[in-house]
Structure 1
Amino acid sequence: MRMVSAAALTLIALCAGSAGAEDLKAFRLTIDGKSLDIDAGESTHVTLPDGKEVEVKLDRNDFATFSGDSFSFNHPSGISVTKTDLGENITQYLMASALGTIVVVQEYGKMNPVSLNQLMLQEMTRESVQAGAALTQQPTTRKLADGKELSGIRAEVKTRTDTAYFEIVGYGLADQGLLFITRVGSEDLGTEQPLIDKFWESLKVKM
């Protein structure tokens, strides 16, 4: 069960003068082989090869689609998704907000991980429970837009001052599958629950 333990624990641009090192831009826009550093929301004037001057502006979409080998989902474009190879044909994708809300997708290439729901919950809540938090849980299912059904558990970890809500569900075939894990705190539900809802509404499983 070494691979199970590892998975559980690892839970655009034309010339426009160079910017100083203290003023780095987040994006590089490339036009006809020439580049310009620019931030989202900024605009600048550039000269095209035919001599015409035009205004260029870079805006960020509210949401972007992230795709793994066997799944995809929409997420706020300002939050990145990181990919980690856990070994043993297990790949983890993590999206985390500044407030601590997380969405984790674990992609398994050699086994069906549906039975790991309980183990994942134990690993993610161990420290809180050992510190005295109360853990309650119940079986749950999620039906995706295409009809696929995910099964797993929904749990609450309650301390004296707050509550964290977890959902861990999976989908698998004989020798491959996916685990989906979400966590959000009670104090952040008003602003963070839409992130979780967007994930579930847009999630597609391609297996």
Structure 2
Amino acid sequence: MAALAAMTLAALPAGAEDMKAFKLSIDGVAVDIDPGESLDVTLPGGKQAKVRLDRNAFATFSGEAFSFVHPSGISVTKTDLGSGIMQYLMASALGTIVVVQEYGKMNPVSLDQLMLQQMTKESVQAGAELTQQKATRKLADGKELTGIRATVKTRTESADYEIVGFGLPDRGLLFITRVDGENVETEKPLIDKFWESLKIKL
């Protein structure tokens, strides 16, 4: 068995661990390539072509009932929370988060306060001060979201939250953003792009 394993490993090509992020196919010829990389490719018939793969600055992410534009370098993860709830999470390197929750069986607009309590519970228990106010946000297509904005502040740091929703009697969406106070200016373009480009398909 050990000998078989050794033979299998020996058969792997050198550099096999150096996997590329994308596979690009041109006229039936496939090459592995990373963003920003250029390659010379021999096409059928012997013609030489130079190909390059560049990443766009922004990409559109679409769920079943919404879409938004985000920096292409930040991925959006999808999690099934059960009970007809899908969650989509985008998180930046600085800890800024954007969460979209799709509810397939209920209108989630009234859950804003519960969601805020869940997200700030530990900080408040540790002595942080929580302030909040009602909030509305109008999207580019005129749809109006309602909810709350809040700030959690300790002696040395703070975090800003916005939790707003849009719903029909039996389904809806909840949108949550969180930004550390020290990163508000740096992360503002990320949050602004999300709200400016957000489209609801309900």
Gaps of 5+ in 2: 1-12
Map 1:126-205; keep pairs closer than 5 Å. Answer: 126-205=121-200
Matched with 1:115 is 110
Shift of 1:98: 1.2
Measure, in 1, the Cα distance between the counterparts of 2:30 and 2:15.
Answer: 15
| Partner AA of 2:116 in structure 1 | L
Alignment length (residue pairs): 190
**3-state secondary structure, aligned to 1:69:** coil
Deviating 4+ runs (over 6 angstroms): none
Aligned to 2:49: 54
Go from structure 1 to structure 2 and tell me whether the alpha carbon gap of 1:201 and 1:19 turns closer, same or farther (over 3 Å shift). farther
SS at 2:115's partner residue?
helix
Q: Which is greater in Rg? A: 2
- Segments of structure 1 that go 5 or more residues without pairing to the other structure are 1-17
C-alpha contact (below 8 Å) 2:163/2:175 kept by paired residues: yes
| Rounded Cα–Cα distance in structure 1 between residues aligned with 2:49 and 2:75 | 31
For residues 30 and 119 of structure 1, what CA distance do their matches in structure 2 show? 48
The DSSP-based 3-state class of the residue aligned with 1:135 is strand
TM-score when scaled to structure 2?
0.91
Q: Using the TM superposition, give the Cα deviation of residue 49 of structure 1 relative to its aligned residue in structure 2, in angstroms.
A: 1.0
Q: Which residue of 2 aligns with 1:20?
A: 15
CA drift of 1:19 comes to 6.6
**2:73 counterpart residue number:** 78
Give me the identity figure in percent: 76
Deviations 1:24-60 (CA, angstroms, capped at 9, x unpaired): 2222212234322211111011011132111100000
CA spacing shift, 1:202–1:51, aligned 2, 3 Å? same
Aligned equivalent of 2:26, options 17, 25, 31:
31
Q: Over residues 112-142 of structure 1, what are the superposed CA-to-partner deviations in whole Å (9 max), with x where a residue is unaligned? A: 0000000000000000111111100000000
Structure 1 residue 96 corresponds to structure 2 residue 91: yes
Q: Alpha carbon RMSD of aligned pairs, Å?
A: 1.2
